[in-house]
Amino acid sequence: MKKYLLNKNGMTLLEILLYLSLASVVLLSVSVFITSIFRARIKNEAVVLVNEEAAQIISQLQIEISEADTINQPAEGAAAASIEFQVTGDPVETIDLQSQQIIYTLTGNLGIALNSTKTNVTNINFTRMNTVSDNESIKVEFSIERDNSSGLQEYEFSKTFYTTINIPRKTGETETYL
């Protein structure tokens, strides 16, 4: 009987429990690590989306506003939540915030959203700087965030962006002195 108990060919219950507990700890550690990697990836995607949309908005604002011949609103030295401008011979153009979307509108036409539905713009401000030289300047400030309808913490990201748009005097314009 003693010879039978000393046989080491099999595993004892204690050894099996020890191996199972070690395997459980390793699997739990790996799953926590993978979960944190996925959360970081989602957060990074939110940051990239906000930055890319902001760059697109700034680019579009610079294109549209820099072509203006006349700034109707805001008044010089004032700030407003919208800007109204015009290129000679064209309809009045307006850029403002509607339902968390920056909307570009030509008088008489439907507005075009400058940001996607994946982001929300929470505020926008246009400041018409005092004209010191031949150029006019419009300072633009807006805050944009990742839409978080799902309520996931990883999607929570917002940032405020600033830019200044110079409106050069068109070539061929001359001042008349009487």
What is the pTM (predicted TM-score) of this model? 0.77
Instruction: Give domain status of residue 81, yes or no.
Output: yes
Smallest CA-to-CA distance from 140 within 118, 121, 120 is with 121
Burial class (CB in 10 A: 0-12, 13-18, 19+), 3: exposed
Place of tokens 């099996």: 16
Question: Which amino acid makes up residue 50?
Answer: V
Element (H, E) at 54: helix 13-66
Express as a percent the part of the chain with pLDDT over 90: 64
Range of the domain at 68: 12-167
Mean pLDDT in the chain? 88
Instruction: Give domain status of residue 174, yes or no.
Output: no
pLDDT digits (tens, 9 = 90+) for 120-143: 999 999 999 876 666 789 999 999
Detail the DSSP E strand segments found in 55-92: 70-73, 79-80, 83-86
Instruction: Give domain status of residue 177, yes or no.
Output: no
Instruction: Give domain status of residue 94, yes or no.
Output: yes
Instruction: Give domain status of residue 176, yes or no.
Output: no
Instruction: Give domain status of residue 3, yes or no.
Output: no
Indicate the number of domains in the chain: 1
Smallest CA-to-CA distance from 137 within 84, 62, 81 is with 62
Q: CB neighbours of 135 closer than 8 A, spacing ≥ 6?
A: 166, 167, 168, 169
Query: Looking at residue 151, what is its pLDDT?
Result: 85
pLDDT at 5 over 70: no
pLDDT digits (tens, 9 = 90+) for 35-73: 999 999 999 999 999 999 999 999 999 999 999 988 999
